[in-house]
């Protein structure tokens, strides 16, 4: 069976590529074209990235408490105490 | 028949019949991703045929609609080249049929987008983007299958041998082509033929496939002479409108 690929699409308005799903393909070229056919049929995107799923390393759900809970009470890390000038875009 | 009407109907029929053939794969593709890819091709082609039938209906001026032209004409009225009506066979055969057609359609539309008929030129310019992707898709699959396993190579080579006789008609002018060429409406098919042969040679070589040496002889689709297969397509495609005239979705 062909390997699994993760697909990332950048929309016309978007500044970053967002994960949209996965598909099977024999190589990168086929994966990009299949992504075009499967994930951009309704004008969703202007750019496609694909990466073989095996190259993605994920955090372990068992580590969630140690990884993420300590951030819960650090509200001062949010930059909500600044006035953002109107000229700054994409904030 | 008015040559421009005859010509526009042919372009519409080519797109509709090949689009219908591809739509037969919907739900039956070898893998999900390619099932969707072929359905996309089918939708592109059927969309192109709609624009062309609408124009044909206007040229005819008899009050017939695009649907009347698609669903209520008989086999001998259809002007599509025979290649488009041939059965899908296996995936390799469908891919080969598509490649042989796309290698013609892409340079053909490029030339037609310069037509003196503004409506045909506009439809061609819009369709060209789709055809460019179709050719890319079908070329790559011919290369993958030809230069793939022993079995895939054998299957696409067999498909090529069997489809080859039908390729000549694509670029062999009939009376309508000649009339409209002199009026600056239809492209010069000799130029399209040269582009077709160049692409065929290039892709078949990379696919390690052998171009048949016989000269493609089959013809007649442009003048309403078809293989036995067209009748079966029309029977399936038209039965609803013929059984329940005016039925709507």
Query: pLDDT tens digits for B76-107?
Result: 999 999 999 999 999 999 999 999 999 999 99
Establish if B249 belongs to a structural domain: no
Mean pLDDT, rounded, of chain A = 90
Whole-prediction pTM: 0.90
Determine the structural domain holding residue B50 and report its residue range.
Answer: 3-243
Is the predicted pLDDT of residue A9 greater than 90, yes or no?
yes
Q: pLDDT per residue over B185-219, tens digit each? A: 999 999 999 999 999 999 999 999 999 998 888 99
Kindly tell me if the per-residue pLDDT of A29 is higher than 90.
Answer: yes
Whether B248 is in a domain gets the answer: no
Whether residue B195 lies inside any domain: the answer is: yes
Report A:19-58 residues touching B (Cβ under 8 A).
Answer: 23-26, 29-30, 33-34, 37-38, 41
Tokens 């171009």 sit on residue? B211
What mean pLDDT is predicted for residues B121-130?
A: 97
As a whole number of angstroms, the distance between CA A14 and CA A76 comes to 28
Nearest C-alpha neighbor of A51 from the set A32, A70, A79: A32
Q: Which helix (H) or strand (E) holds B154?
A: helix B150-163
Smallest Cα distance from B87 to chain A, Å:
24
Give the model's pLDDT for residue B249: 76
- What percent of chain A is predicted at pLDDT more than 70? 99
Cβ B31–A26 below 8 Å, yes or no? no
CATH code where residue B32 lies: 1.20.1260.10
The answer as to whether B43 is a domain residue is yes
Has residue B132 been placed in a domain? Answer: yes
**Mean pLDDT of the A49-63 span:** 95
Residue in B33, B136, B137 closest to A23 by CB: B33
Q: Is pLDDT above 80 for B161?
A: yes
The burial of B91, by beta-carbon neighbours within 10 Å (0-12 exposed, 13-18 middle, 19 or more buried), is given as buried
- Specify the number of domains making up chain B: 1
Residue B190 lies in a domain: yes
Please tell me the distance from the alpha carbon of residue A19 to that of residue A51, in angstroms, as a whole number. 11
- B59-83 in b/e form (b: 16+ CB < 10 A) is bbeeeeebeebbbebebeebbbbbb
Q: Is residue B71 part of a domain?
A: yes
Residue B140 lies in a domain: yes
What number of CA atoms fall less than 13 Å from residue B189's CA on the CB side? 17
B65: Cα separation from own chain's centroid: 22
Mean pLDDT over B57-61 rounds to 98
Quickly count: other Cβ atoms within 10 Å of residue B52's Cβ: 27
């Amino acid at each position: 069976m062909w390997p699994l690929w993760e697909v990332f699409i950048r929309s016309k308005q978007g500044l970053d590529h967002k994960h949209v799903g996965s598909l099977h393909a024999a190589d990168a070229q086929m994966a990009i074209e299949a992504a075009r056919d499967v994930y951009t049929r309704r004008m969703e995107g202007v750019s496609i990235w694909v990466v073989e799923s095996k190259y993605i390393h994920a955090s372990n759900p068992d580590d969630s408490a140690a990884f993420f809970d300590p951030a819960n009470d650090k509200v001062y890390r949010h930059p909500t105490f600044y006035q953002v000038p109107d000229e700054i875009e994409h904030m | 028949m008015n040559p421009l009407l005859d010509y526009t109907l042919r372009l519409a029929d080519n797109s509709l019949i090949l689009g219908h053939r591809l739509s037969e794969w919907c739900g039956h593709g070898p893998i999900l991703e390619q099932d969707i890819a072929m359905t996309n091709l089918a939708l592109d082609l059927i969309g192109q045929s709609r624009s062309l039938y609408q124009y044909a209906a206007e040229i005819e001026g008899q009050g017939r609609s695009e649907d009347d032209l698609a669903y209520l004409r008989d086999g001998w009225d259809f002007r599509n080249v025979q290649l488009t009506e041939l059965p899908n066979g296996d995936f390799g055969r469908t891919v080969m049929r598509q490649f042989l057609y796309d290698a013609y359609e892409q340079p053909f539309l490029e030339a037609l987008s310069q037509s003196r008929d503004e409506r045909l030129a506009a439809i061609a310019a819009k369709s060209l983007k789709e055809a460019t992707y179709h050719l890319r898709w079908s070329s790559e699959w011919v290369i993958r299958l030809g230069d793939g396993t022993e079995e895939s190579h054998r299957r696409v080579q067999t498909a090529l041998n069997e489809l080859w006789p039908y390729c000549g008609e694509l670029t062999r002018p009939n009376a309508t082509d000649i009339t409209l060429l002199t009026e600056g409406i239809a492209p010069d098919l000799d130029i399209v033929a040269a582009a077709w042969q160049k692409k065929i040679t290039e892709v078949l070589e990379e696919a390690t496939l052998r171009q048949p040496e016989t000269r493609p002889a089959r013809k007649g689709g442009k003048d309403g002479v078809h293989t036995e297969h067209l009748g079966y397509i029309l029977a399936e495609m038209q039965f609803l409108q013929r059984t329940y005239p005016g039925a709507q979705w």
